[in-house]
């Protein structure tokens, strides 16, 4: 039987003296040992929701429970059992990198020996051991983010909340962070992942909660969400720059087309229109150099849910 870690019921939070609803009646349950992604654009209400889950904010309506405890009434107990990686400015920038991780471990209750051992292991895993004696304030933005992640990892909390953990990281470091997330989960850690990087998150999450305009649009396993757009395929087209507008005009009747790169167009099309669309894009006057048909992704599900919300 699945064991609930977090239970949110009708969570509502207001800003600007009640004039703006940052969270609007959100209900969801997070289970022990899962990786759940909380996805949505900037300003969707994701971080506000997380701050209520760690006791920094209290819901105006509804309830947030951690292992059966009301978070707003038991904040001290809750924060001792979780680790939170924030987007906010790193507070320990006056320390050396090893000190920032080590003293965070000591504050979490680790012995000197255990804090030292974990610090060394974390620096090595993050590829930051050569910067151990450098002040955090002298690191690059991406390096500071890694040290901040290190302070989250030390103490080996059973529940870890990561708010946009790959921001400011280069592709290799992003890959490293996703590997670490998988490793933690394999050891039984519950991971709550807040991100707008849908394509990368899709590779690691078990379930997804999609939030926009403060509302929960959907929550389910990734494959089940994908089935909601199963009657569509993603068409990707590479065309010469001078032909892009002509291609868009020719195919607009089949759906919304987006320019995703300089010469790359992308759109979702219904499966029953594929033959007609292929006939059209093979017209030599469109100057299409390459095209491909792909199954729908989690990003396609997200786009569909947003479209549905806008049409309500």
Structure tokens at 194: 């807040």
Write down the CATH number for the domain with range 233-295: 3.30.70
pLDDT of residue 106: 95
Contact 225, 260 (CB under 8 A): no
Q: For tokens 């519950």, what's the residue?
A: 190
pLDDT of residue 311: 61
The residues, any chain, with a CB within 8 Å of residue 211's CB and separated by 6 or more, are: 26, 38, 39, 40, 44, 45, 46, 49, 217
pLDDT of residue 160: 97
pLDDT of residue 111: 97
pLDDT of residue 188: 95
For helices 97-107 and 112-125, give the axis angle rounded to 10 degrees: 130
Average pLDDT by stretches of 10, the chain with 312 residues = 93 87 95 94 89 95 96 92 85 90 95 97 96 94 93 96 90 92 96 84 89 91 77 84 85 85 84 86 81 78 71 60
Tell me the CA distances in angstroms from 200 to 64, 166, 177, one per residue in order.
28, 10, 11
Q: Which helix (H) or strand (E) holds 263?
A: none
pLDDT of residue 229: 64
For domain 4-226, say whether CATH 3.20.20.10 is its number: no
Q: 3-state class of 155 per DSSP?
A: coil
Domain-wise residue ranges, the chain: 4-226, 233-295
Supply the pTM of this predicted model: 0.79
């Amino acid at each position: 039987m699945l064991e609930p870690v977090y239970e949110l019921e009708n969570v509502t939070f207001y800003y600007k003296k009640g004039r703006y609803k940052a969270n609007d009646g959100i209900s969801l349950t997070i289970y022990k040992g899962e990786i759940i992604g909380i996805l949505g654009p900037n300003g969707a209400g994701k971080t506000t929701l997380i701050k209520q889950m760690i006791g920094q904010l209290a819901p105006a309506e509804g309830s947030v429970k951690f292992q059966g405890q009301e978070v707003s009434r038991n904040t001290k107990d809750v924060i001792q059992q979780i680790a939170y990686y924030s987007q906010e400015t790193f507070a320990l920038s006056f320390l050396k990198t090893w000190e920032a991780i080590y003293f965070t471990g000591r504050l979490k209750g680790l012995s000197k020996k255990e804090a030292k051992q974990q610090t060394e292991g974390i620096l090595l895993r993050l590829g930051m051991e050569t910067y151990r004696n450098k002040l955090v304030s002298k690191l690059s933005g991406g390096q500071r983010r890694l040290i901040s992640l290190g302070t989250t990892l030390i103490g080996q909390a059973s529940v870890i909340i990561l708010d946009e953990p790959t921001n400011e990281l280069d592709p290799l470091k992003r890959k490293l962070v996703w590997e670490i997330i998988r490793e933690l989960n394999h050891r039984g850690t519950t991971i709550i992942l807040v991100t707008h990087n849908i394509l990368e998150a899709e590779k690691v999450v078990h379930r997804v909660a999609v939030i926009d305009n403060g509302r929960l649009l959907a929550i389910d396993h990734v494959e089940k969400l994908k089935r909601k757009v199963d009657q569509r395929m993603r068409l990707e087209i590479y065309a010469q720059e001078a032909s892009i507008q002509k291609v868009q005009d020719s195919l607009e009747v089949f759906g919304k087309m987006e320019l995703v790169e300089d010469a790359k167009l992308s759109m979702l099309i219904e499966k029953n229109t594929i033959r007609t669309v292929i006939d059209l894009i093979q017209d030599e006057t469109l100057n299409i150099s390459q095209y491909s048909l792909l199954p729908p992704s989690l990003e396609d599900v997200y786009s569909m849910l947003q479209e549905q919300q806008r049409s309500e």
